Structure 1
Amino acid sequence: MSHVGVGPRAVMRSAAFLTAGVLAVPALAGCTSEDPAGKPLAEQDVAAADRARIADGGTLRWAVDSVPDTLNAFQSDADATTTRVAQAVLPSMYRMDETGSPVRNPDYLESAEVVDTEPKQVVVYKLNQQAVWSDGREIGAADFAAQWRALSGKDSAYWTARNAGYDRIQKIERGANDLEVKVTFSRPYADWKALFSPLYPKDVMGTPDAFNDGARRSLEVTAGPFAVKKVDTKSDQVVLTGNPRWWGEPAKLDKIVLRAVPRDERVSELVAGELDLAEIDPETADEVTLAGAPRDPATGTPLMGPEGSPAPGPQGRSAAEALRSWAVANGSDEDAAEEEILAREERREAAAKERRRQKALSGFEVRKSLEAAYTQLALNGSDGPLADERVRRAVARALDREKLAEAVLKPLGLPAEPVGSHLALSGQPAYADGSGALGQQNAKEARALLADAGWESGGPVKKADEGEKAAGAEKDEKGDKDEKKSDGDDGTYIVGEDNKNGGSGDGGNDDAKDDAKDGADRESGEKLSSGKNTAQGGAPGAYAPKGTAAPAGSVTAPLAKDGKALTLRFVLPSGPGSEALRTVADRITDMLKEIGIGTEITKVPDESYFKDHIAAGEYDLALYSWPASAFPATDARPIYAKPVPAADGSLNVAQNYTRVGTDQVDQLFDRAMTTLDQKEARDLLRKADSRIWAAAGSIPLYQRPQLTVARENLANAGAFGFETPVYEDMGYLKKGAQGSRPSAPAGTSASSSPSSSSGS
């Protein structure tokens, strides 16, 4: 299970299972002469090969998570497979490069530039003169205009999921000739390169009926190296075939079959020879790596196991065990001998089956990189203890993000660096580490923040009535256990409520005042003080003032306030592929326990995790992922915008599922969205990110690992990293040809501990 959205520039930046502070920002790295963006932490791993080395023809059978409900990427139920199809069959004016930046796609676009800014911003697109739809019609202004009208938000008959950017267009006209499209904006729009990628034909965008229903199960008119042959819900697959009217480099493959295969069934499908390419979990990666390891010529067993560990002996038994088995089978005890002979036969059959399995997997290899997405810890600031900014900041400062990143990435041989930005990833132009606005991990200061918020270590806790027990959790009445699972099946258990009084605690927090200087001014002009918490997310005393007593007692003593223990609801998915999330959650739980915060962990089905818990706000803590975007001013704004009351009295949170935001961050996003100066836009985004860090509504942890298994002779496909796949270049190497792969650092391996997951 991936718990990440459909990817950059799809319907909207989506977290599927893919804040602004009131403190001022310290000096930004972006203002120095050294570029803080850095480089991508990992390169893509696709077995790159020149087209001349790739044979013509063949079918690529590619495992995906689902057959999409719609092929219209601008509808709310579009998913990652919708994006895969759109990339292969539709025009995109811009695509992502190896740094996650937009680059012009020459197959469709000869040039695009801002030709005027006063009185209006005007962009002129010059299209590739060979670019045509599959029905022979030229791609032109009529298609651009139809997409603008459908996505502008002016006609509610169109069931669109987003209109960002399109709502800023004033008009679209034919330029100097049929190959020019002139777009005039009513308001300046910095992210204009985000528009018209993908571009649908006017046949799809021209009327509400065509938009809403016409492109859900078929795309009759396309303009990519591939076309949609059929969407088969019975066999759970989408079949793409070559587009005969494609004017670019011809597709090497005859066919791409995108087939929905559950992640826990993919290794069996690989063994059966039914797949050529699939994202996998670390356990499958281990098995594929082991299958390709050198073997003992006599026994056929691998000489070395994963991570260089000694391989098991014949049939998984040591030499001493094998000798004992022979002795029993040939001994005088006939009953024991008969039983052992049967057991030996069963082991031989199992070993033969395992050899066949390993032989089938030996034709595959693991390709790995870091995905263009990051996993975060979300803190719901709408109500409960986390409505107090001081408690959110205490939680954030209790986390050792480096250790959390290492727990997931180090066993995979991938760079284990924590993510420093909410808005970009290392290597992207907008990236800068803004975590300094929050402060480094510091348990002492975290406890001081909690003390300032009124949470006392070892304080009295009222005994809850039976009806008040949360989600069926059976808590220990004596409070002498750190962790107790419920007797029910809801997966809920309590961690950290032991109600023990300890010895003396840390003293006053002398460093908190220095951190307050780094945190800076509050949004409404409030100064840091030791006053009471008066408003959600905007209370004075976000840092405990100098002299505030730290919690008394040992570091693991639970905290309480008004007779209620400080226990946070931690919701996690329970499905296959979520092992890494659960491992990270366990480590976060331990870190929070060190400062006296208990957690109530509830594991829920994958299908209800996001809709019923994250989006509904039924959680305190949760782990999910966001995809990186080449256009953070547009795509990240709804994630961090301040929730506003809707007409019916409810709270409109857009995509801000932590419910934490401020006017100041909204203003920074709006300014970044309207400036055409790229450096100024980057600086504004970095300031916004620092304020998001300061509010501690969400804590970026690590860039998601991407593990893919591919046939050894499959080229230009695998772990794509930031880059948009080039579908026409995918194919199988000619006999004797070799692909080129980036060399892995010494000592790295695709193996993993059982608790890590490529889908975290």
Structure 2
Amino acid sequence: MSHDGVGSRPARQSPACRATRGPGAVMRSVAFLTAGALAVTALAGCSSEDPAGKPLAGQDIAPAARSQVADGGTLRWAVDAVPETLNTFQADADTTTSRIAQAVLPSMYRLNESGRPEINPDYLESAEVVDTEPRQVVLYKLHQQAVWSDGREIGAADFAAQWRALSGKDTAYWTARNAGYDRIERIERGANDLEVKVTFARPYADWQSLFSPLYPKEVMGTPDSFNDGARKKLKVTAGPFTVQKVDRKDDEVTLARNPRWWGRPVKLSEIVLRAVPREERSAALAAGAVDLAEIDAPAARRIALAAGPGGTGAARQGGGRNTDDPKAPSPSADPSGVDENTGDEESGVDENTGDEESGARAQGSQSAADATRTLRGFEVRKSLEPAYTQLALNGADGPLADERVRRAVARALDREELAKAVLKPLGLPAEPVGSHLALAGQAAYADSSGALGGQDADEAQALLADAGWVPGGPVKQQKKEEEAAGPNGETATETPIDEDGTYIVGEDNKGRTDAELEEAEEYRRQLAQDGKQNHQGGGAPGAYAPKGTAAPAGAPAGPLAKDGRPLTLRFVLPSGPGSRALHTVADRISRMLERVGIQTETTKVPEESYFKDHIASGEYDLALYSWPASAFPATDARPIYAKPVPAADGSLTVEQNYTRVGTDQVDQLFDQAVATLDQEESRDLVRKADARIWAAAGSIPLYQRPQLIAVRKNLANTGAFGFATPVYEDMGFLKKGVRRAAGPSGS
């Protein structure tokens, strides 16, 4: 990992592969289906270099040797909410459920900094496929000291109980997923108590995804204990921490050291997971109420301002590189309103004037000054989340049911510009995501976007024309214009520019003065000189184009229509302060689409109802939301891209495919990828599936999500983890007098 936390870009394809995957490789719109197939075939042959590359950004956790970390202390960690359940296999499990499970339960595998699974040595000595014929058999050899918190050894009985609960055979278990477990035929003890032998009825490539986390048989043994017992408490655990208390009154979960932990000694005494809404985290940090919190860009800027010029509280990249914007306001422009040079820190009524208002201002200054001093004890550690934001296109009905229109939307987008808009101001790598199924650095990653092609406004307009969407406005509008025409069918000689800045062409010039024609020509020249061609809400009133004058290159296209309907797409977004970045991206997307003649109507809805009432129910045309990147895409991504199938009542069963776009070929490739035990072959099949998903244009990956974590400066081995699973026993506060040094955590 490089010092500043930014890895190399993904490995480049050979020149032949690049030529195949460039925009020119995509056939013109009249042959779009063939183009997708050709691109997939070409990609499959580009295997001379590993396209996975390295993560775009590494961890930023302030690594420190364990000898430098103090013994004891409580880490107060802000989370979104106290979870409704502690059972990660239930439908209402959330990210906090997973965070707790990582700290208190066994995981046979964990993810490294590249997002790839590796054996967790605290629980496993080895795990391997020992037989493939007639059945796939995996043999787990457990750590000799691995025990549950009640002293019982972890063993085959726990593996078997979890398999039975998650296999899907007993419907009394309210499970949210059973992928992989439904392929197991039996589980038995091996040569001794430390061996677990798992035999599969059908081959399963992603067997490493199983038993992480592993619950004790006391949880998995009966439907009652699974459905209800593990929701509020976990009596038996086997991680570096245990669940000491779930306090729903105070919105906290307390994790305490596990006295039976056999691994490296735990540094922290406690971890308190405190529910703090996103919009309140900046205030919680300023009040010193939490030590670690995921934050947004404005909160990160506030910490940077509190640190002052060149201060270490500024947002950091990787190993602490200062990435302050040189144009950022001075510390006196802190949102708290305090000028550190002149701010009055006294409180109460002004004794000289008796002015209570002055006293109130002084008291406010003191409070703001205290907040600024507190924030100086924090820094922002940052990386990229193992998740990406996409533009989803609902292909169930409406204009986007036509693949040509979806492809036109995709070809109108400058994905690099969108990534830069979100990530560049944060000092993070602004690379567009090239895969639906993995991120740079992960084994299955390959940039398959060439199956669709890059930004090309001409190609987008050709696709729309081929789909029957042409300039001219709705039929009703056309009729109005005909009714307004003169006795010879001529339209009015003076037609102003539309309110949205659209440049109207092709009108009769009869009756126009030389001055009007010159004004029109000057307007055309101005448009041509404007590189962005973004003329919304403006235009020059009274400017007209000579008949037959073409709109300048790059100017917004006229509205398109088909069968009397305008091409207008419903763009649904969540409201609220946490959605600022999405609003910025959506505005840019709308402008890009307008340039090819696609209009958008943006609707902002409450965050709490955004997904359930709009995305999942299909009440949108365009939407922005994120998916996590899995180390096991053949298993985890299949329900997201599976072809919807009609249900008995006539509705569509979409699983998690909320775009309603899928193909039989994609389903077949997923099925093949999950059933082969050859890892290289499985990766190739996943990449082929991704190329076909690109070609279908149901969703367009945009950028990897930023990960901004506010952390007390003296906290080590925690922060922005990127892909990696946190190592909870190494987290802690530095000893007094210890200066943090860059480098991996030591033993």
TM-score range, shorter chain: 0.7 to 0.9
Residues 315 and 351, structure 1, Cα contact 8 Å, conserved in 2:
no
Tell me the residue number matched to 2:659.
Answer: 658
Q: Does 1:308 align with 2:323?
A: no
Distance 1:210 1:21, change over 3 A: farther
Structure 2 residue aligned with 1:99: 114
Q: For 1:502, which of 481, 505, 521 is the aligned residue?
A: 505
Number of the residue aligned with 2:391: 377
Aligned to 2:299: 284
Query: Which of 269, 274, 286 is the aligned partner of 1:259?
Result: 274
Asked whether the equivalents of residues 31 and 683 of structure 1 are also in contact (C-alpha less than 8 Å), the reply is no
**1:521-564: CA deviations, max 9, x gaps?**
xxxxxxxxxxxxxxxxxxxxxxxxxxxx9999963311011111
CA distance in 2, matches of 1:649, 1:295: 63
Q: Which amino acid aligns with 1:590?
A: R
Matched positions, count: 628
Which of residues 22, 31, 45 in structure 1 aligns to 2:46?
31
1:65 aligns with 2:66: no
The structure showing larger relative contact order (alpha-carbon pairs under 8 Å, at least 6 residues apart) is 1
Whole-Å separation in 2 of the counterparts to 1:658 and 1:125:
39
Q: Write the distance in 2 (CA, Å) between the matches of 1:144 and 1:134.
A: 17
- Structure 2 residue 440 is the aligned partner of structure 1 residue 440: no
Q: 1:297-317 CA distances to partner (integer Å, 9 max, x unpaired)?
A: xxxxxxx99512375486889
Residue 137 in 1 paired to residue 152 in 2? yes
- Alpha carbons of structure 1 residues 460 and 360: separation in structure 2 relative to 1, 3 Å: same
Counterpart residue type for residue 597 of structure 1: I
- Cα distance in 1 for residues equivalent to 2:124 and 2:476: 68
Query: How much has 1:31 moved relative to structure 2?
Result: 3.0
Q: Relative to structure 1, is the Cα distance of residues 232 and 316 closer, same or farther in structure 2, using a 3 angstrom cutoff?
A: closer
- Per-residue Cα deviation, 1:245-292 (whole angstroms, up to 9, x for no partner): 111112111110111101111111111111000000111101111212
Which of the numbers 142, 147, 163 marks the counterpart of 1:127?
A: 142
Q: From the superposition, tell whether residues 85 and 553 of structure 1 become closer, same or farther in structure 2 (CA, over 3 Å).
A: closer
Match of 1:387 in 2: 401
Name the counterpart of 1:677.
678
Q: Please state how far the C-alpha of 1:499 moved relative to its aligned partner.
A: 8.1
Q: In 2, are the aligned partners of 1:405 and 1:701 still within 8 Å (CA)? A: yes
C-alpha separation in 1, matches of 2:648 and 2:127 = 40
Q: Is the 8 A contact 2:498 2:504 kept in 1?
A: no
SS in 1 for 2:273: strand
Match of 2:215 in 1: 200
**Aligned CA distance change for structure 1 residues 701 and 356 (closer, same or farther; 3 Å):** same
In structure 2, relative to structure 1, the CA distance for the partners of 1:638 and 1:21 (3 Å cut) is farther
SS of residue in 1 equivalent to 2:301: helix
User: SS where residue 325 of structure 2 aligns?
Assistant: helix
Matches of 2:155 and 2:617, distance apart in 1: 42
**Offset, 1:231:** 1.1
Q: What does residue 431 of structure 1 align with?
A: 445
Which amino acid in structure 1 is aligned with residue 262 of structure 2?
W
Equivalent pair of 2:502/2:556 in contact (CA under 8 Å): no
Change over 3 Å in CA distance of 1:147–1:502 after alignment to 2: farther
Question: Match of 1:396, as an amino acid?
Answer: A
Residue in 1 that maps onto 2:285 = 270
Matched residues in 2 for 1:30 and 1:602: separation? 44
What letter is aligned with 1:221?
A: V
Tell me the amino acid that sits aligned with residue 258 of structure 2.
Answer: N
Among 262, 266, 286, the alignment partner of 1:247 is 262
> What is aligned with 2:203?
188
Q: Is the 8 A contact 1:451 1:550 kept in 2?
A: no
Corresponding residue to 1:45 among 60, 66, 84: 60
For 2:224, what is the secondary structure of its paired residue?
Answer: helix
Q: Does the residue aligned with 1:376 lie in a helix, a strand or coil?
A: strand
In structure 2, the partner of 1:460 is 474
Task: Label 1:503 to 1:32 Cα distance change in 2 as closer, same or farther (>3 A).
Answer: farther
Q: Secondary structure at the match of 2:133?
A: coil
Give the Å deviation of 1:419.
0.2
State the AA in 1 paired with 2:141. K
Q: Deviations over 1:422-481 (max 9, x none)?
A: 0000011110000000011000110010000000112334379xxxxxxxxxxxxx9944
User: How far, CA to CA, are the matches of 1:378 and 1:457 in structure 2?
Assistant: 25
**C-alpha distance in 1, partners of 2:388/2:161?**
34
Q: Residues 309-324 of structure 1 correspond to what in structure 2 (within 5 A)?
A: 309=327, 311-312=329-330
Q: Distance in 1 between matches of 2:328 and 2:74?
A: 38
User: Which residue in 2 is equivalent to 1:412?
Assistant: 426
Q: How many angstroms does 1:237 deviate by?
A: 1.1
- Between 1:65-74 and 1:647-656, the stretch displaced more is 647-656
The 2-side partners of 1:294 and 1:554 are apart by 42
Deviation at 1:612, TM superposition (A): 0.4
Find the aligned partners of 2:551 and 2:46 in 1 and give their Cα distance: 36
Q: Which of residues 401, 422, 445 in structure 1 aligns to 2:436? A: 422
Is 1:639 paired with 2:653?
Answer: no
Q: Which amino acid aligns with 2:732?
A: G
Q: Does 1:238 align with 2:256?
A: no
Change (3 A) 1:550 1:186: farther
Cα distance in 2 between the residues matched to 1:258 and 1:215: 18
Contact 1:70–1:78 (Cα < 8 Å) also in 2: yes
Q: Tell me which amino acid in the other structure corresponds to 1:379.
A: L
The separation in 1 between residues aligned to 2:729 and 2:33, in whole angstroms, is: 46
How much has 1:354 moved relative to structure 2? 2.7
State the percentage of identical aligned residues: 72
In the alignment, is the contact (CA less than 8 A) between 1:665 and 1:691 conserved in 2? yes
RMSD of equivalent CA atoms: 2.9
For 2:95, the equivalent position in structure 1 comes to 80
Distance change in 2, residues 1:708/1:362 (3 Å): same
Partner of 2:691: 690
CA distance in 2 between partners of 1:305 and 1:386 (Å): 41
Aligned counterpart, 1:715: 716
Deviations 1:89-116 (A, max 9, x none): 0000000000000000010011000000
SS where residue 232 of structure 2 aligns?
A: coil
Q: Deviations over 1:473-496 (max 9, x none)?
A: xxxxx99443xxxxxxxxxxxxxx
Structure 1, residues 383-404: CA drift from partner, whole Å, max 9, x if none?
A: 0000000000000000000000
3-state DSSP of counterpart to 2:577: coil
Distance in 1 of aligned mates of 2:422 and 2:267: 36
1:645 Cα deviation from its structure 2 partner: 1.5
Measure, in 1, the Cα distance between the counterparts of 2:696 and 2:135.
36
Equivalent pair of 2:64/2:743 in contact (CA under 8 Å): no
SS where residue 578 of structure 1 aligns? helix
Q: Are 1:560 and 2:581 counterparts?
A: no
Counterpart Cα distance in 2 of 1:167 and 1:86? 22
Superposition pairs of residues 145-224 of structure 1, within 5 angstroms: 145-224=160-239
Maintained 8 Å contact 2:71/2:267: yes
Three-state SS of the structure 2 residue aligned to 1:249 is: coil
Q: Could you say what secondary structure the match of 2:186 adopts?
A: strand
In 1, the alpha carbon distance for the partners of 2:707 and 2:310 equals 28
Displacement of 1:345 in angstroms is: 6.4
TM-score (norm 2): 0.80
Give the drift of 1:348. 5.0
After superposition, what is the alpha-carbon deviation per residue over 1:586-615, rounded to whole angstroms, capped at 9, x for unaligned?
A: 000000000010101000001100000000
Q: Which position in structure 1 is the counterpart of 2:377?
A: 363
SS at match of 1:383: coil
